[in-house]
Amino acid sequence: MAAETGDQPTPPDERDLESYVDDRLFDDSMGTLADHAARKAALGDSRRYAVVFLLYERDEVARSELASAIDDPTFDLTHHLGQLVDAGLVARTGAPEGADGRRTFYEITHLGRQEIEADYRNVTGHEPGE
């Protein structure tokens, strides 16, 4: 990553600012600034954030359980889960062993886990699990 090389960057002009941030902060394995911004935008709704946090703590949750936990008929869970999936924070999974195979389950992704753990450290000043 360029941010770790110690090289002095060339200041960006206005046309290249996003490319500049991409070069300084991200590499191909981390995606792009646009990917990062999409993840942050997906977490920008408190109930979507709560869904990701619940998945962080429980690993895998049925869609029906998420709907019960939110308990708000005006909240379009399908739409919001779609945004979280599109942002790469959660994934649809098959039913775990012994569960009803007709139900839809969701799990947190590696990126979703990283987001929650970074927030946990920033908010509490501790590592998760301490």
CATH number, residue 69: 1.10.10.10
Please indicate, yes or no, if residue 93 is contained in any of the structural domains.
yes
For a pLDDT cut of 70, what percent of the chain falls above it? 84
- Per the structure, the complete domain to which residue 98 belongs is given by 45-124
* Angstrom distance (rounded) from CA 22 to CA 83: 23
Q: Give per-residue pLDDT as tens, 79-107.
A: 999 999 999 999 999 877 777 767 889 99
Which token pair is 21?
Answer: 């941030």
Please indicate, yes or no, if residue 19 is contained in any of the structural domains.
no
Total number of domains in the chain: 1
CA–CA distances in Å: residue 25 to residues 9, 30, 93, 111: 12, 9, 31, 16
CA–CA distances in Å: residue 92 to residues 8, 79, 109, 117: 43, 14, 10, 21
